[in-house]
Amino acid sequence: MKTLGKKIRLLRHQKGWSQEDVAKRLDISIPAFSKIETGITDINLSRLEQIAALFEMSVVQLLTFTDAEQDQKVINELETINKKLMDRETEVIDLQKKVIELFEELRHNKITA
């Protein structure tokens, strides 16, 4: 549940709300809400529905919500890795060409000798 708490905290920050703001909207104490965000308290379905409604999303959206910034970092990292892989493939192809050229040169030298 710690991951869910982090998602809730992120959503709260995106709205610019304090823990007190959200606690009042949920009609719970600030410490109780803090325990939800830190994952100390397990959230029952009715509370989950209440939190999802507060952030104007479904329970499924809340449970599957991801940080767009984190997603973008992963995408950027994958793009960088993919570029490096393509560069290495190009290097391998160039080396294969050189090996073929050297083999042909050796073969040609053997025939003329």
Domain housing 56: 2-64
Same domain, 54 and 8: yes
Per the CB < 8 A criterion, the answer to whether 46 and 9 are in contact is: no
Same domain, 60 and 70: no
**Rounded average pLDDT over 2-12:** 87
Q: How many domains does the chain have?
A: 2
Same domain, 10 and 50: yes
Q: Give residue for tokens 């999303």.
A: 57
State pLDDT tens for residues 23-66: 999 999 999 999 999 989 889 999 999 999 999 999 998 888 77
Same domain, 6 and 19: yes
| pLDDT classification of 102: cutoffs 50, 70, 90 | very high
Sign of CA dihedral 95, 100, 102, 103: positive
Same domain, 39 and 83: no
Same domain, 38 and 70: no
State pLDDT tens for residues 67-92: 666 667 778 888 999 999 999 999 99
Same domain, 81 and 113: yes
Residue 79's Cα: distance from chain center in Å? Answer: 13
Give pTM, 2 decimals.
0.57
Break the chain down into helix, strand, coil percent, rounded to 5: 80, 0, 20
Same domain, 55 and 11: yes
Specify the CATH number for the domain of residue 29.
1.10.260.40
Same domain, 51 and 84: no
